[in-house]
Structure 1
Amino acid sequence: MASKVAWSALVVGFWCGLLLPTDGATVQIRNLGSVSGSETVTARTQQQVLQFFNIPYAEPPVGQRRFREPIPLSAWTGVKDVSSPGRPCPQPGITDKLPPAELTSAIEDCLSLSVYTKNVTAKLPVMVYVHGGSFYLGKAADHPPNYLLERDIVLVAIQYRLGALGFLSTMTPTIPGNAAMLDILLALQWVQDHIADFGGDPGHVTIFGQSAGAGAISGLLYSPR
């Protein structure tokens, strides 16, 4: 009986050890605060990856900030739980393109990014992904890092305002237009300022995108910033 109890304790302890996050899943972001992520593995070689979803890079673009240029996020206290994907930016209810659950959970406070890394103390090349969706659909978590993180890189996927909230212009200071492009620029500045805390090299950043994401990047080539 004592032997069975000992084995039960061993098995319970083993599984608890598997479920508890490692110290590497918590990162202190310089001048901002701490975030706690989760772990996954790559598809082919089962390499461990730390994933940090839904890290905000701007103040919520609501109220007087709606349609305006995004404002960098202020520092926070405590540890933000960023272990699971955040909610997408508001987008039309096209149920044949996105599951209804994702559409109904959209919020305007959606300016965030996800970071995937294998080593927070390294200095690895960074790839920044801008999702597609015709500028009115999609989210940062659409494409997981199952294959890209087979390589020694840090992957960042950014979320930006969509549709009218991201691109409407009345040619006035109140709604000047192209807020989404400014979102992307601010996210890229966040990468420059903070990606080193996740093991990335801010001097070695490649931006890439799919569909509308690639189009947005092409537009940024004309930006004076």
Structure 2
Amino acid sequence: MARLRRIVALNAALSAILVAVAAPALAAPVVLRANPVDDDGRITLGDLFEGAGAAANVAVAERVGPSVVLEAGQLQALASQAGLEWSNPNGLRRVVVRRALAPVQTADQAPATAASLEAAAPQIRAAYRPAGAGQQVIARNDMVRVTYQVGGVNLSVMGKAMRNAAAGEPLAIMNVSSNRLIDAVATGPGQAVAGPAADQARANPQQFAAR
């Protein structure tokens, strides 16, 4: 009988250990924000994910410039350690986090490459809506041609719109080749501009729509 009691007690202890080990696997699913930003240089899970809950203040990186690039695999592991589950449904390789409310950037004589378009695109806040903005010309998930103009050189890339936008409104476009976000301004159906021309498009969307 004593031996039976020891076996029962041992099984109970083992079950408790297994439950404790399995508990962290019950991670909370989260969704990556469409255009992650931070305002203090300290990147937290709350800056990156919607629904981060109690893990929102967990810091995962620091930003010392206008943006920081995080490897998706490493970010997935850090989220898992904090009890969050990000399935990365779009198969992203990198996640770009930008400084919130950064001033508009310009690129003088920038090299005409897709990478320069992504890096030099103006930091435009989605909440901005120009006076007189009219009918919607781009819908979320539309394929959009983004044109970057500088020094007489035009560069175009295709991307997916992350929000609805009227002519002259800012929006984020995901480059379908690199999965990086480009800050642009809508100019017409399936058309947007980035770089110095974006300021002109915001100020006079009708002019760009007529081109």
Pair in the same fold by TM > 0.5? no
TM-score normalised by structure 2 residue count: 0.27
Greater strand content: 2
Compare CA radii of gyration and give the structure with the larger one.
2
TM-score normalised by structure 1 residue count: 0.26
